[in-house]
Structure 1
Amino acid sequence: MIRTLYMRIAIVIFIVVWCSLALSSFTFSHYYRNQLNNRVEGLLQNAAKLVIRLIQETETQQIAQTVSIAGKLSRGQELYLYAETGESYMSRPGSASNCAISGETVRLVLDGGSYSSFRNEGGDACPQGSVGASFEYAGKKYALFVTAVTPNPPRKLDFFDFRNLWTIILISTFLIALAAVYLVRPLKKITAATEKIAGGDFDVRLQINQKDELGVLASSITHMAGELKKMEKMRQEFVTSVSHDIQTPLTSIRGFSKLLQQDTLDREERLGYLKLIESESERLSRLSENLLKLASLDSEHHPHHPKTIQLDEQLRRAVVASEPLWAGKKLDIELELDSVRIVADEDSLSQVWTNLLHNAIKFTPSGGRITITVGRDEKQATVSIADTGIGIAPEDQGHIFRRFYKADASRQTSEWSGNGLGLAIVKKIVDLHGAKISFSSAVNEGTTFVVHFPLKS
C-alpha cells in the first residue's frame, strides 16, 4: 500500500505521462498513415496515367519494350501490364520485389473497374502498395498495375522504438521524481512546522514563496503560529495575574490569622484584623466570581436570553442600587434618559452598567459629577456614562479591556482595589450583544464610556 504522498504524486504523474504519450502516439500514427497512403496513392495513379498515355502512343509490337523503359524511368515503381488475351508484361522481370497480383484482381480491372491496395482489402501480396487502371489499345483491353518499390508505412505504427525504450523510461522517471520532489518539499516544510506548533514551539516562519494554494497555506500557518504565540503569552500573563491576585489576599489572610493567635491583642486590634481578613476574603470572592463569569462568557453555552427591555429604566435601577457608594462620596448624579427599548439579555446588561458605574464612582473624587445619558436615532441606541474623575493615562488607554490589566494601582485604595476583570467582562458582554463600546479620557479631566446598540425590529 502506497503511504507517502511523494510516491503517490510520482506514480500519478508517471501514469498520466505515459497514457498521454500512448494516446498521442496512436493518434499521430493513424493520422500519419492515412496522409502518407493518400499521397503515395496519388503518385501511383499519376504514374499509371502517364504510362498508359505512353503505351497508347507506341506500336503494339513494342509494348513490352515500352513497359520496360517506363519502369526504368519511374524510379521506385514497378509496372505490371495484363492483356485480356492473357499476355503479361513486367518492367523488371525476375525482380525479388515482384508483386503477386491475383487473377481475380486482374479480371476486376480488365472489366473496367479500378483497384487500389490502399482502399481494397484483398489477398494480393503487394505490401508496398499498388494501384490498377484499365484502358483499351488496338481493340484490346489492358490492366496496368503500378506498385511502389519503397515500403509502404505499416498499418499500425509502433508507439516506441524499443531500442531506446529503457532510456526513455529512465529519463522520464528521473524528471518525474524531480517534479514530485518540487511538489512535496513545501508539504514537508509545512508538516515540520505543524509538528513544532503541536510541541508548543510557535516560532515558525515558513519560507515558501509560491503563489499557489501551498503558498497560501504556508502563509496561513505562519499567521496562525504568530496568533498562537500571542495567545500563549496572554495565557501566561493570565496565569501569572490570577496567581498573584489569589496569592496576595491569601498571604494577608494567613498573616492576620497568625496575629490573631497572639494573646496580647486587645479587642480593637483583633476586630481590625478580622475586618482585614473579611476584606481580603471578599476580594477573593469577587475574583472568583469574575473568573467564573468570564469562563461562562467565553464558553459556547453561556445563558443568553434576549428580550425587549426598557433601557432607561434599567439604568435608573443601577443608579439606585449604587446609591450607598456615590452618596458616601457626595457625588452629583445627572440623568438624561430618553425612553428607549432594546432587545438584550437583561441580567448580562445589568452587569455592564454596574461595572461602568462602579468604575466611575471609584475614580471620581469626592464632590465630583457623573452624567448618564440615554438616547436613540433611527439605527442605534446610545448610552453614555461620563465622570469628572482622574482619567486614564494615554499609555494605558490601549490596554484597559485586557484581562487583569490595572491602569494605575497606586490610585486604588484598599477599599476599591480591583482585579482588572471588570472592563474585560463589559467588553465581552457588549460584543455578545452585537454592540460597540468606545471611550474618551483625559488625565484629571474625566472619562466617558459610550455603548452603541443596534436597534432590531
Structure 2
Amino acid sequence: MIRTLRARVVLTYIGVVTVSVVAAFLVYNLAFSGPETRRYEREAKAALHAAVQLYERVQPADEDVFWEGIARTRGAALRLYEADGAYREYGEAVGMEEAVVSTGDIAAILDGREPTLEADPACGCELAVGTRLSGGGAGTVLVMFPRPIEGDYSVLVILGVVLAAGSGLFLFVSGRLVGPIRSMTAAATRMSEGDLRIRLPDTRSKDELGDLSRAFNHMAGQLERQDRMRQQFVANVSHELQSPLTSIRGFASMLRSPGIPEADRDRALRAIHEESGRLSKLSGHLLMLATLDAGHCPFDPQPVRVDEQVRRSMLLLEPLWSAKEIEVACDLPALAAAGNHALLEQLWVNLLGNAIKYTPAKGRIAVTGTSVADEISITVADTGIGIDPADLERIFERFYKADQARSRNVEGSGLGLSIAKQIILLHQGRIEASSVPGSGSAFTVHLPAARRPAGASFPAERGVAR
C-alpha cells in the first residue's frame, strides 16, 4: 500500500504517461496502419510498372544483369516466374527459399489481372506485387518483394526516454512540492502538543501551497491569541471571584467577634449581601457566556418588536438613571427584528445599563433607530466619559476595562459588552462603537429585519403601551 503522497503523485504521473503512450500507439495502428499499407502497395506497384516500362524500352541483352541492377536500385527482391512455377531470383533473397507465390496467382497475372498477392510469412515479406512481362515472353511474370514495412519504433524509444527523464525530474520536483506539506505536518504535531508559537517559514510563493502556508500561520496566530485570551480570562475570573470572597470572609469573621456593635453588624451584613449579589451576577454572566459560546442557547427566530423592548428596558432601569438625574430620550419608529425575545431584551438592558454606568450625573442618553431594506439599526448614544480610540477594538473582550479610572469608579465585571456582542452574533448581526473621550460614546446595533406577511402587522410587546 502506498503511504506517501510523493509516491502517489510520482506513480500517478508515470501511470498516466504510460497509458497515454500505449493508447497513442494503439490509435496510430488502428487509424493509420491500413492506409499506410495501401499507400505502400500503390508505391510498390508504381515502382514495378516503371521497371517493366524501362525493360521494354531498353530491351537489355543481358536480362540477369538488368534485373539485378533494378533489384539493387529499388532495394527489393525480384523473381521472374514461368508458367510452371520455375523462377529466377534477383536482389535480396534472404529467407525466400520457399515458394511464396502460388501457381494460381501466376496464372491470374498471365491472364492480364493483377491480384493482391499473399506472400508466405516465411519469406519475411509483408507484401508482394506482380505483373505480366510481355517483353520476356508470353509466359513470364515479374514479381517484386519490397522491403518489409518497418514501424517507426524510434518514436516509442524517444517517448520511453522522455518518460524516464520526466519521471526522474518529477521525482525531484515532487520532493519540493511535498516538502511544505511535511513542514505543516510537523508544525501541526507540535501545535497539538501545546506549542502555539510555532510558525512556518515565510514564503513568497503565490500558489496553493503558499496560500496554505500563510493560512496556517494566520491560524496559529489566532490560536495563540485565543490561548492568551483564555489565560487572561481565567486570571480575570479568579480576580473577580477573589475580591468578593475576601470581603465576605472578612465580614463573616467580624460577625463572629463577641460584643460587636449593632451598627458594625448591620454594616457587615449589608456588605455580605452586596458581595454575594455581585458573585451571583458574575456567575450568571459567566453561565450566559458559556451557553452562548457552546451554542446551546435555544434560538428560534420570531418577529420581535425591538422598539417596544427598548422602551420597556428603559422603564426597568429607571431607578438607575433617575438617581443620576440623567436625561433619557427615545426616538424609535416601529422596528421588528427576527430573533429570540429573551436574548434581545438582555441585549438592550446591557447596552442601556452600560450607558447609564459611564454617564455622569445630569448627562444625557439618546436612543434612535432606522430601518433600511432588510436591516434595522438601533443606536444608544451617551454623554459619558468616552473611550480612547486605542481601546475601541478591545472593549468587547471579556473582563476588559478601558482604563484604571473606569475600573475604580464604576462597578462591573467587564462582561456586559461581551455578552451583548455574542447575542448580536447569534442573531447574525453586527455592532459598531464610536467614541470621543470626554464627550461620550455611541453603540449601533444592526440586526436582520423580520419579514412581515402581506396585510399583517407585528404584535406589540406584552406590558408595553403603544
Shorter-chain TM-score: which interval?
Answer: 0.7 to 0.9
What is the distance in 1 between the residues matched to 2:390 and 2:438? Answer: 15
Change (3 A) 1:419 1:104: same
1:332 aligned partner: 327
User: Which AA in structure 2 matches 1:152?
Assistant: P
State the Cα distance separating 1:250 from its structure 2 match: 1.8
Unaligned runs of 5+ in 1: none
Instruction: Kindly report which structure 2 residues correspond to 1:372-451, keeping only aligned pairs within 5 A, or say none.
Output: 372-374=367-369, 376=371, 380-412=375-407, 416-451=410-445
Shift of 1:294: 1.1
Assess if the C-alpha contact under 8 Å between 1:373 and 1:385 holds in 2: yes
Higher mean Cα deviation, 98-107 or 291-300? 98-107
Q: Relative to structure 1, is the Cα distance of residues 131 and 209 closer, same or farther in structure 2, using a 3 angstrom cutoff? A: farther
Q: Residue in 1 aligned with 2:243?
A: 248
Could you tell me how far 1:444 is from its partner in structure 2?
2.7
- Distance in 2 between the 1:190 and 1:245 partners? 40
Q: Give the deviation of 1:15 after TM superposition.
A: 3.0
CA RMSD of aligned residues (A): 3.7
Q: How far apart, in 2, do the equivalents of 1:73 and 1:212 lie?
A: 66
1:421, distance to aligned residue in structure 2 (A):
0.4
- In structure 2, how many angstroms separate the alpha carbons of the residues matched to 1:218 and 1:168? 33
Decide whether the 8 Å contact of 2:386 with 2:436 is kept in 1. Answer: yes
Query: 2:118 maps to which residue?
Result: 121
User: 1:192 matched to which residue of 2?
Assistant: 186
1:178-327 alignment to 2 at 5 Å? 178-202=172-196, 203-207=198-202, 210-263=205-258, 265-327=260-322
Superposed CA deviations along residues 229-265 of structure 1, whole A, max 9, x for unmatched, are 2221221221121121112222222233333333353
Bigger CA drift: 223-232 or 18-27? 18-27
Asked whether 1:136 is paired with 2:134, we answer yes
CA offset digits 1:386-424 (Å, max 9, x no partner): 33322223332222111111123434567x511100011
Q: What secondary structure does 2:393 align onto?
A: coil
Taking structure 1 as reference, are residues 35 and 180 closer, same or farther at Cα in structure 2, changes over 3 Å only? farther
Cα gap change, 1:311 to 1:97, in 2 (>3 Å): closer
User: Alpha carbons of 1:358 and 1:19: their partners in 2 closer, same or farther (altered >3 Å)?
Assistant: closer
CA distance in 2, matches of 1:124, 1:335: 107
Structure 2 gaps of 5+ residues are 452-466
Partner amino acid for 1:197? M
Distance 1:18 1:105, change over 3 A: same
Match of 2:148 among 142, 145, 152: 152
Q: Distance in 2 between matches of 1:88 and 1:175?
A: 59
Deviation at 1:31, TM superposition (A): 7.8
Relative to 1, partners in 2 of residues 1:444 and 1:106: Cα closer, same or farther, differing over 3 Å?
same
- In the aligned structure 1, how far is the partner of 2:257 from the partner of 2:283? 31
Alignment CA distance shift 1:28-1:452 (3 Å)? closer
Q: Give deviations 1:152-187, integer Å, cap 9, x for gaps.
A: 2458969978xxx9x999867644543543443233
The answer to which of 324-333 and 395-404 deviates more is: 324-333
How much has 1:384 moved relative to structure 2? 3.2
Q: Deviations over 1:301-352 (max 9, x none)?
A: 2123443344343233222222222222233333434444444322212212
TM-score of the aligned structures, taking structure 2 as reference length: 0.81
Percent identity at matched positions? 34
Q: Who is 1:71 aligned against? A: 68
How many angstroms does 1:199 deviate by? 1.8
Equivalents in 2 of 1:445, 1:328: separation in Å?
Answer: 21
- Which residue number corresponds to residue 463 of structure 2? none
Native 8 Å contact 1:360 1:389 kept in 2: yes
Please report how far the alpha carbon of residue 218 of structure 1 lies from its aligned counterpart in structure 2 after TM superposition: 2.9
Partners of 1:183 and 1:377 in 2: CA distance: 50
Do the aligned partners of residues 262 and 307 (structure 1) sit closer, same or farther apart at CA in structure 2, a change above 3 Å counting?
same
- Paired residues, what number? 444
Structure 1 contact 69–91 (Cα < 8 Å) conserved: no
Matched, 1:356 2:354: no
Letter in 2 for 1:8: R
Residues in 1 aligned to 2:402 and 2:92: alpha-carbon distance in whole angstroms: 118
**Partners in 2 of 1:13 and 1:344 — Cα distance?**
55
Q: What residue number does 2:107 align with?
A: 107
Go from structure 1 to structure 2 and tell me whether the alpha carbon gap of 1:373 and 1:207 turns closer, same or farther (over 3 Å shift). closer
**TM-score by structure 1 length?**
0.82
The one-character-per-residue Cα deviations of 1:35-59 (angstroms, maximum 9, x if unpaired) are: 8756764554344223323443466
Residues 264, 409 of structure 1: alpha-carbon distance in 2 compared, 3 angstrom cutoff: farther
Deviation of the 1:90 alpha carbon:
4.1
Shift in alpha-carbon separation, 1:130–1:198, aligned structure 2, 3 A: same
User: Is the 8 Å Cα contact of residues 208 and 215 (structure 1) preserved in structure 2?
Assistant: yes
- Distance (Å, rounded) in 2 between the aligned partners of 1:340 and 1:97: 105
- Counterparts of 2:363 and 2:233, CA distance in 1: 34
